[in-house]
Chain A
Amino acid sequence: MKSAILVFPGINRERDMARALKLISGHEPAMVWHAETALPAGTDLVVVPGGFSYGDYLRCGAIAARAPIMDAVRAYAAKGGLVLGVCNGFQILCEAGLLPGVLMRNARLKFICHDVHLRVERSDTPFTRGYNAGQVIRVPVAHGEGNYEADEETLKRLEGEGRVLYRYCSPEGVVDEAANINGAAHSIAGIVNEAGNVLGMMPHPENHVEDIMGCTDGRGLFAGLTAHLERAA
């Protein structure tokens, strides 16, 4: 797997992401500076990591979404290339128009930094094939703006087309208001675009991949991507 991690000023999770990708895929990812205009040849996964690009000025992800490298990412995604955005990366992908909707301020106005449970809604996608449908995983979140919102029409399409891949839930897998940490519409934690090759999610699977982290539930996402790409190759 040849992955490329985008690096913007203010991003701070790129090394966690690189470590997880190296550990699980066996290949060192390329770090790609935002001012570049092309992705490394042969890239088969682009990752937009978490952090606080441009200090969250204007709107979270708004300025990074207009960086030169994003034109290359748009062209790459249009050709079906896999793109994964985590946390600020999810916000950047929404601002860039690669995913619908927007991440608003958390409904209870607090920055949330703790483990959450996610229900994996389906297993037949490159981003979830390392899990079973309905499986509950535990991964951390760390965000102040993770409250996913979109207009009714968009939400209907996301649900109808099975594009919600991850939802906040209780440890038992129950999706309800109590488990919906940030007030997101339909408890959405992660969605894909229409073609299914661009995933944005608020939680950080890259931070639950080694025993020393106390949990390895995040491995499935990267293992699934690696298996998908090896099969395609």
Chain B
Amino acid sequence: MSETVMAIFRKALAVTGKGMLALFVFMLLFFVLLVLVDKIFPGKDVENSN
């Protein structure tokens, strides 16, 4: 493997680490959001509009 390829690979590795971490953080935030919104506005009679 040439040094250039390895340098790009290392960048990709860094993007992978940050990307997967950010994905989980976002999903955890959405999780909290879902639970909170559902708690504040609990369902009554309508399940879905369409």
A binds B: no
Residues of A within 8 A of B (CB): none
Residues of B within 8 A of A (CB): none
